[in-house]
Amino acid sequence: MTKQFDFDLFTIGAGSGGVAASRRAAVYGARVGICEDDRVGGTCVIRGCVPKKLLVYGAHVAEEMADAAGFGWTIPTPSFSWSNLIAAKDREIDRLNGIYLGLLAGAGAELIEGRGRIVAPHTVEIGDRTVTAQRILVATGSHAVLPPTPGIEYAITSNEALTLAELPKRIVIVGGGYIAVEFAGIFNALGSDVTLVVRGDAVLKGFDADVRSHLTDELVRSGVTLVAGAVVDRIEKADGCLQAHLHNSAAMLKADQILYAVGRAPNTDGLGLREAGVHLGPLNAIVVDEWSRTNADHIYAVGDVTNRMNLTPAAIAEARAFAETAFNDNPTRFDPSRTPTAVFSMPPVAAVGLTEMQARAEGRTIDVYHSRFRPLKHTLSGSKTRVMMKLIVDRPSDVVLGCHMVGADAAEIMQGLAVAVEGGATKAQFDRTVGIHPSSAEEFVTMRERSPTSDPTASPHDVADHERPVPRKIEA
């Protein structure tokens, strides 16, 4: 490591990716500095997946109580305190923030509080302090975006949703992605009247069509009002509530809160990137190669700020690959193609590998195995919830290309299946695996009947028509 600079690595942003890269580089002997203008831990730990998952756990208690009567339990009328749940969540986030601070300190990385800005080659300014580094890593994450809709100042994002002073009686959620469906499940289970407004016919664009259709049905069955094919034209505050007026429609939705979850944009403003000559792409995301290098040979970037695969584990994997390459003489690239993902909706969704449409678009001849069933638990609970599972198999090689699930414990089940997909497991190996009975997970190793969409003559367009979810709308 050269002594020409103050640091061998200076990281701008102490979220999951920035901390992972900084810690590993420090362990390998690098002199590491890192700056953060907010709480250490980043979006996931402080205002994203972790606090949201804690609220999901709280919401599931309502489901368990509703199911209890079928198992012989008589539960007196329960009461729920939103403020108590939020306070408990905040205590856990404080604890995790402390852990992250300890991890950096334990690795020997120097934390500098403040916003970093690249002001010259190899030079970062943080407040009134200037440091130099052989390599600079940008890991500043992303932020929720709000469209220029008239009245948008009355809306909230996921940040504010996690700290609301009280549980809204009525909430309109605009969007159909991860964040939108997760908050729809949380607020619906906790007793809010939830309306979900989506541009398309179903939620979770980009997921397998059967997943999208099944989750959309389950959300509606659970009591969420879905307004499909709709756009909010303007928001007004009148008659003691917020009013969302739909475009080209007489429909008007009344609510106590309007939550927008329509996407996120990289945090690149004010970092001095353009002045440093760093190329920025769509949404001003930092353009990097497979080694996380920018066009400036000493500047790198990982995580949401690159707008590649905006998942916390992906950011950590990119960060570790960077540290291995730059500081451990072990050239490593992160392959995102078999990265598993989960949506903690109610019910949850999880997937790994290709969707049916993606496989066909690649020109593959595939077999599709598909199952919908009522899990054993609900034969007594009385719940109408159904589980959906799907396997995509490459016919010539028999390799399992994708696994998809909507149902309880989907994320826990999919983590194990991701190991199999990463290892190139075949359908024959799935079939030879002994199932754990009785469990929902065993369905993945007992599916034998091919779906009608396994027709090798089917085109992606044919399958799209076959799988397209039925539009669902409410009356204006």
Active site residues: 437
Residue 18 and residue 311: Cα distance in Å, rounded? 14
Do residues 410 and 348 make contact, with C-beta atoms less than 8 angstroms apart? yes
Residue 187 and residue 189: Cα distance in Å, rounded? 6
Q: What is the 8-class DSSP label of residue 144?
A: E
Long-range Cβ contact pairs of 413-417 (< 8 A, separation 24 or more): 413/350, 413/440, 413/441, 413/444, 414/340, 414/342, 414/350, 414/351, 414/352, 415/340, 416/441, 417/340, 417/352, 417/444
Side-chain-facing half-sphere of 204: CA atoms under 13 Å: 28
Residue 243 and residue 345: Cα distance in Å, rounded? 26
Cα 400 to chain centroid distance, Å, stands at 24
Do residues 316 and 323 make contact, with C-beta atoms less than 8 angstroms apart? no
Please tell me the total number of residues recorded for the chain in this structure.
476
Beta strand pairing call for 7-12 and 32-36:
parallel
206: left (phi over 0), alpha (psi -120 to 50) or beta: left
- Radius of gyration from C-alpha coordinates of the chain: 24
Residue 110 and residue 124: Cα distance in Å, rounded? 14
Residue 141 and residue 36: Cα distance in Å, rounded? 11
Residue 376 tokens, joined: 């054993």
Q: What is the 8-class DSSP label of residue 32?
A: E
List of residues 6+ apart from 49 with CB closer than 8 A: 312, 344
Residue 441 and residue 372: Cα distance in Å, rounded? 12
Written as one string, the DSSP assignment of 457-474 is T--HHHHHHHHPPPP---
Q: Which of 40, 49, 32, 50 is nearest to 13 (CA)?
A: 40
SS3 state at 35: strand
Residue 173 and residue 186: Cα distance in Å, rounded? 12
